[in-house]
Chains A and B, each alone.
Chain A
Amino acid sequence: MSDDRTPYISVENVSKVFGGYAALDDVSLEVHEGEVLCLLGDNGAGKSTLIKILSGFHQPSSGTMKIQGEERVFKSPRDASDLGISTVHQFGGTFELMSLDRSFFVGLEPTKGWGPFKWFDRKTANEIVVREMQALGITRVSDGNRLVGSLSGGERQVSAIARAVYFGAKVLILDEPTAALGVKEAAHVLRIIMEAKLRGLAVVLVTHNVTHAMTVGYHFAILIHGEKADDFAKGERTREEITDLMAGGEAMGELEAELARLVAAGTQPA
């Protein structure tokens, strides 16, 4: 699927080989601002590998990446974040034993003072983290001094998203953000993804959950064994087709037959 606008990120014919095994094979993708791209696929399909390339953890074995139309090579996660690409790994920030304000500002601490006597401005950090968390609906957090480990899984995801948004990310990459969450928390995280999209960010959402993907997604890509099996916009495929594809290409016929039987038995709305 292509588009007239210049995508924020465009991945062109990217492959990644790990010791002879192609985890990604000739994948091309476009990530646009103000859109949620859902990356779907079974375990081992190469989703995390693709994300690690986008966030500068890995370099592609072949193929190129363009940021706003310009070819770029990321040598480190720092290079990606400097270009506005922010990744929230599966369990959010994992500094369990740090206070929320400390962990929120790791690597980007606000300081006060001069010369060698600059100090980490905890007061400002604390105020900002509480403000940003509350703005994203986490009203329970009223003190940045509490430890990250005392937050729920959803609150940690939200704090990681809040961090990315606060530091001006243009692209927010989320690796299975709802996987470990309960229904209510997952709904909250999805709502925040929508909010990030409305603020003009590009969101890349990796998920197993077709319902979650269909709720927030605008553009979908399905990976099977490292290859892009399908790429489509909202409304172009049914839930059944997506589920079917995610289960893996070769199982398709079998599943189709099974689905047909289920529909015939009336247990599944057509």
Chain B
Amino acid sequence: MLALKNLARRPEFAAFVGTLFVFVFFGYFGWPTFTSALVTAGWLNVAAELGLIALPVALVMVAGHLDLSVGSILAAGAMTYAILTGHYDLPDYIGLPAGLGVGTFFGFLNGLIVTKTKLSSFIVTLAMLFALRGLVFGITRLTTSTVLVPVEVDPFVRETFGGRIWRTYENAIILWVIMALVVSWILYKTKFGNWVFSIGGDETSARAAGVPVERTTILLFMGSGFGSALLGVTQVALFGSAQVSAGQSYVFFSIIAVVVGGVLLTGGYGSPIGVIFGTMTFAIVSQGIYSTGWDSDWSSLILGVLLLIAVFTNNTFRRLALSSGDKKDESLSTARRTDPQTSPEPATTKEATVV
């Protein structure tokens, strides 16, 4: 019973319930197609691709920031790779790291501007979304005179990033799992993860406690820039071409997945596991709709409603988490082992019962 109560207080619990709900919902209305291997692969592929962006964006949001520039960074990464290899015939071992590097660089620029100017990341990354989109269009047209650049992807890269398991499940699923492990390790297991929570909780106090706030914030934006570019090059490997307008929809998709995954918009709270569920919920709704025979436009309605419910639930869970103490004994226990007036020896030498 207690274990169940503790489980219900975990940040990912509501996200899990959400995923379960949409799965059962589409399992019922989309019967029997929804549970087929093909449809399962369909939503898992969508979840995996979105997850590559949503997971690092979740870290940015736990630190209390937003990254709206992911759409243009995706295009910039993809286009860099495509132009270098497809247009200039450079080898993939130059084009691919260059694509990832460009994405990481613009993430760095986001972080640098946010920390130096103290402007809200909402505005800075919105500006980046537009400015970079213009830059990608301009440079692509100037160099290739087109907006769609075909690429003869190196077979190894194609198999690694664009391959499919049993011809259905994209290798992106494996990248997604690796990304999830890395992001979970960072957030839960490292000092850096603790700094992320503290910055999202209270930036001033974090700074006072000695957290390198600027460096941490910049690294977080570099992470979401890298994730966006990783999806960009993965899509080039999958489709054999890059398009200037690719990726714009991920701006909102990633925020929906992260919030439905239980991350508080105000920062300081959230979990990668929750975000995985949020991403799956998004993918199930957007793909499951095709199994129902309904018009696919309805999926937006469902996602919008789910997002509202999620924000409401997140706030409720936050309150619940904050009241997790037993409130029977509000006052301090004043039982003392030693009287401070008569015991000048440091308490660290006192025996302590660790429960």
Residue from B185, B193, B332 within 8 A of A152 (CB atoms):
B332
- Which DSSP category, helix, strand, loop or mixed, fits chain B's interface? loop
Residues of A in contact, count (CB < 8 Å): 57
Contacts of B325 on A, CB cut-off 8 Å? 146, 150-151
Minimal Cβ-Cβ distance residue in A for B330 = A152
Known contacts A127-B354, A150-B322, A198-B343; is-contact A97 B348 (Cβ 8 Å): no
Query: CA–CA, A97 to B206, complex, Å?
Result: 13
Instruction: Check B336 for interface membership: any CB of A closer than 8 A.
Output: yes
Query: CA–CA, A146 to B9, complex, Å?
Result: 11
Write the residues of chain B forming the contact surface with A, with a CB cutoff of 8 angstroms. Answer: 185, 189-191, 193-195, 197-198, 201-202, 205-211, 264, 268-269, 318, 321-325, 329-337, 340-341, 343-344, 346-348, 350, 352-355
B271 smallest CB distance to A (angstroms): 12
A-B pair count, CB < 8 Å, reads: 143
Question: Which 5 residue pairs of A and B lie closest in terms of their CB atoms, listed nearest first?
Answer: A107-B210, A195-B340, A149-B322, A95-B201, A107-B209
A selection of 21 A-B contacts at a CB cut-off of 8 Å is: A89-B205, A93-B209, A97-B197, A106-B205, A109-B194, A120-B190, A120-B194, A127-B354, A134-B353, A135-B337, A143-B355, A146-B325, A150-B322, A150-B324, A151-B325, A152-B330, A184-B331, A184-B332, A185-B331, A187-B334, A198-B343
Which residues of A, 126-146, contact B by the 8 Å Cβ criterion?
Answer: 127, 130-131, 134-140, 142-143, 146
* Other 17 A-B pairs with CB < 8 A, given A95-B202, A95-B205, A119-B189: A77-B208, A78-B210, A93-B205, A94-B205, A96-B268, A97-B318, A98-B198, A106-B209, A107-B198, A107-B210, A119-B185, A135-B337, A135-B348, A139-B333, A142-B355, A151-B325, A184-B334
Residue from A106, A130, A188 within 8 A of B354 (CB atoms):
A130
Contacts of A199 on B, CB cut-off 8 Å? 344, 346-347
Query: CA–CA, A119 to B348, complex, Å?
Result: 25
Contacts of A130 on B, CB cut-off 8 Å? 352, 354-355
B269 smallest CB distance to A (angstroms): 4
Residue from A98, A105, A139 within 8 A of B335 (CB atoms):
A139
Query: CA–CA, A130 to B352, complex, Å?
Result: 9
Contact A198 B344 (CB under 8 A): yes
Contact B331 A97 (CB under 8 A): no
Query: CA–CA, A187 to B331, complex, Å?
Result: 11
A105 smallest CB distance to B (angstroms): 7
Contacts of B322 on A, CB cut-off 8 Å? 96-97, 147, 149-150
Which residues of A, 142-181, contact B by the 8 Å Cβ criterion?
Answer: 142-143, 146-147, 149-152, 154-155, 158, 166
- Which of A107, A166, A191, A194 has the most C-beta atoms of chain B within 10 angstroms of its own C-beta? A107
Contact B332 A97 (CB under 8 A): no
Contacts of A182 on B, CB cut-off 8 Å? 331
